[in-house]
Every structure is written in structure tokens, then in C-alpha cells.
Structure 1
């Protein structure tokens, strides 16, 4: 029976993942939070799921490397340094890092990539995301994931074409830019829309999360899939074979 350890167990996502582990008939090896013994949990787990904080990632990865335990990294707000740490750790253990564990968002990402590749830069791309008032990072990890999909479809670097803030006299929209808008309020679990617009027509690709359970179920599905994989960096698209 697969034993899963949860990092960030007291958080909203951590609690939802614990429920999903039980629903799937798997074993909760334990849960840890800041100040707890992550190394001990990694040693007794078949796989770890991390929805904690970017500042904790390095220690979490070190514990999993020492134990030889694969890890799902669903923590958002990661910066370039964190991705370097994930790449480095993936030479030793299997890691699946994603900004969203939803199976629906994973499929949406593939559709966004296809649309961006097919339609070309004359179609403007805008990504709008809405989350609950407690979310601390913006744009959301999912919005960035969708932006990366669009950029990959156009074979460009997202950092070079990303437009994340408009205020005042900003001038006309630059062709090829990928725009982001972040809304915060209430208890919204996560709404994401990708608008592709050109002269006289628009396409909108959207996903609405009704509660955190869907992210938890996706994380557990990914954990089962990753458990026996070789050392490498994986994505949710690999779980669905996209």
C-alpha cells in the first residue's frame, strides 16, 4: 500500500490532500509543517506531496534526496532559484513540479499551447485569474503555467513577452505580448480564462475550480503515477500522457 507524506499538512491544501489520500484507500504516512522533522517523514514515506511555502522548498528537497523519496511539488510562488533547485534534485529523485494539480487545468494548458501555436502572434493573449482573498502570490501558479503553455506554443520566452501590470498611460498593446490580470476576493478556489483575440473574433478557454478537492485528487493521482518513476523532472501533462 502506497504511503504518502504531506508537507504543509495543516494548510488548506494539506488538509484536502489528507482527505483525498483516505478516499483513495491509500496510507497517510504522516504530515509535517514548519519546525517538524521532515527528514523522518521522508524516510518512512513512499512519496511526498509538498504544498507548503517557497522558502521551505530547499529543505524539503534535501530531505527527499537523502531518503531517496519522490516528491510532488505543488507549492506556488516559485522563483528562478527554486526551479534550479528542482532541476538539481531531479538528477537524484523523481520530481513532479506543477503550478496546478487539476487534471482539467492540465488539459486546458495543452489546448492553450495548441491554440497559440496554430493562431500565431497576431492573436492577442490575455490570462485572467481570480482567487480567494487569502492568496499571497500573483499571478497565480496556474496563470503562469498557462502563460508558459502559450509561450511554448509560440516558441518564445515568457519572461520576454509577459505583461503583468497596466496602470496609467501605457501605450498601445505590443504585438506578441502575453498579458496577465489577477483578481482577489471572497472564497474563490480558482477561476482561469485565456482570451485569444484578433480583429472581429475572440476565443476564450476557461476552467473553474469549485473547491480544493479537485486539486487534492489530482495531486494524489500524480503521486501514485510518480511513485516508481526514475529520477527526472516531470509535469502533470506526463500523468495524462499529453
Structure 2
């Protein structure tokens, strides 16, 4: 494959755990190449080759300059923080660079800003880029429609000790998908905390439980508890590589898009 046909990709948060995983995946893909590597000002990785962590020479230097890091890239993959991702997207719009956003924890106002930016560039944004997780979301949509009455729904999620937002973006997406399938508003039926005398469980509620510890990559279980039976739908991630592979599928999907805001259901044709 000639270099002209390779998809030039920039990675935000290049020195982080997910950044390293993305760089490895791009290196291994025969239709992609690393065109830019971004990191925060003050990062020890600045000025180093983006592949230095693995002993590889990619020819791409880690930089804190958005314009330098995005120069020559057709798409940015970003798994950083909401404020950083928004700043990156604004420069992407300026330069005409597409974006795959795996960042979680956006506020409603920030999501509105992203929708506005997507009028000018194509963006795939999803709280979880894993193909398996998104197939799980489709299964949950179907289950919620069939089990909308007589079953109590609880979402239990576990992640590593470094995760800063709770519940996880994936858990919230699971709740949104199921609530929508049942004609409910998650903002009205979600229960995030239980302590003390809580009273009986509200039948229409969707409960969330959060676990943080160790190096858990990401576990999610949805429990449908009925009378005389329980149904559990579980997805467990053992490696961040699944998020990277899903991100590259999103990059390939965006190659045919001019503008608009998409998610992994669009990428995987799960509509």
C-alpha cells in the first residue's frame, strides 16, 4: 500500500495508557499511519518520538502545539478530558480535521458545543469504542423493550483506581439506551446513590453502582431482576486494545463523511 493511501491520524494524550495503546494499533494497521502526537504542556514525553515508550521510531515527535500536531492529519483520536477535547475540536474545525472522541464526562452544555462543531466537521463520539460493548448496547435495547415491566434494572460498573468520573460513560450510555427503549427519561429515573433509610425501590428506576480499584480496565453488568428469575448481561474488557481497534473502525467510517455527529451504532450499522 502506498503512503498516499494511508490514513494520517493524530493521537491526543500520546503519553497516557490509552495513547500508547492507540499508537501501537496505528503502527500495526496497514491502512493507517501516525501523523501527529499531542500531549499536555509539561509532559515528560514532549520532544520525544511518539514510539519511544516501546522502543519504536515512528518519525513523529510528541508536541503540545495543536496546530503542529494536527498538521497533515485527516483525523484526531482523543481519549483525554472534556475541557481538552473541546479545545482540540475547535482547532480541528479550524483545520478541517475529523475527530473520534472517546472522552467521557461531558456536560450537557459541552455536548451542545460539540454538536455545533459537528456542523462543520465529521465526528464520531461514543463513551465506549469497543465493538463488543456496542453490540451489548444493542442487546440491552432489545432486552429493555421485552422486560419493561416486572423487572428491576441495576447497572454495576467497575474501573481502575485512576478513573476520574462516575458512573462511567459506558454505564450512563447503557442507562440511556434502556430508558429510551422503555419510553423513560434517564434524568428522571436514574438512582446514583443509596444510603440510610431509602424506602422501597421505585419500580421505574434504573440504579447505578460504581466500583473503583486496582487496574480493572472496564467491567459492566446490567441486572434485570424479576420475580423468580434474574437476567444478567455482562461485558468485561481485559485490554484497552479493543477501544483502539474500535477507534480505527470509526476513523475508516469517517473517511466517507463530510460533517455530522455520529456514534458507534452508526459505525457498526446497528441502527
Question: What's the TM-score bracket when you normalise by the shorter of the two chains?
Answer: over 0.9
Match of 1:34 in 2: 40
CA deviation after TM superposition for structure 1 residue 228, in Å: 2.7
CA distance in 2, matches of 1:151, 1:130: 21
Please tell me whether Structure 1 or Structure 2 has the larger radius of gyration of its CA atoms.
2
CA distance in 2, matches of 1:232, 1:84: 13
Match of 2:227 in 1: 199
Aligned length: 242
Match of 2:47 in 1: none
CA deviation after TM superposition for structure 1 residue 57, in Å: 2.3
Match of 2:26 in 1: 21
Structure 2 unaligned blocks of 5 or more: 1-5, 42-63
CA contact (8 A) 1:43 1:69 kept: no
Which deviates further from its counterpart, 81-90 or 13-22? 81-90
Match of 1:187 in 2: 215
| TM-score of the superposed pair, with normalisation by structure 2 | 0.87
Aligned ranges for residues 91-170 of structure 1 at < 5 Å? 91-170=119-198
203, 206, 209: which one aligns with 1:175: 203
CA contact (8 A) 1:96 1:235 kept: yes
CA distance in 2, matches of 1:207, 1:138: 18
CA contact (8 A) 1:4 1:48 kept: yes
CA contact (8 A) 1:100 1:215 kept: yes
CA contact (8 A) 1:196 1:202 kept: yes
Cα root mean square deviation, aligned: 1.1
CA deviation after TM superposition for structure 1 residue 80, in Å: 1.0
CA distance in 2, matches of 1:156, 1:65: 35
CA contact (8 A) 2:36 2:70 kept: no
Match of 2:115 in 1: 87
Residue 220, structure 1, aligned to residue 248, structure 2: yes
CA contact (8 A) 2:36 2:71 kept: no
- 1 or 2 for the larger relative contact order (CA 8 Å, sep ≥6)? 1
| TM-score of the superposed pair, with normalisation by structure 1 | 0.97
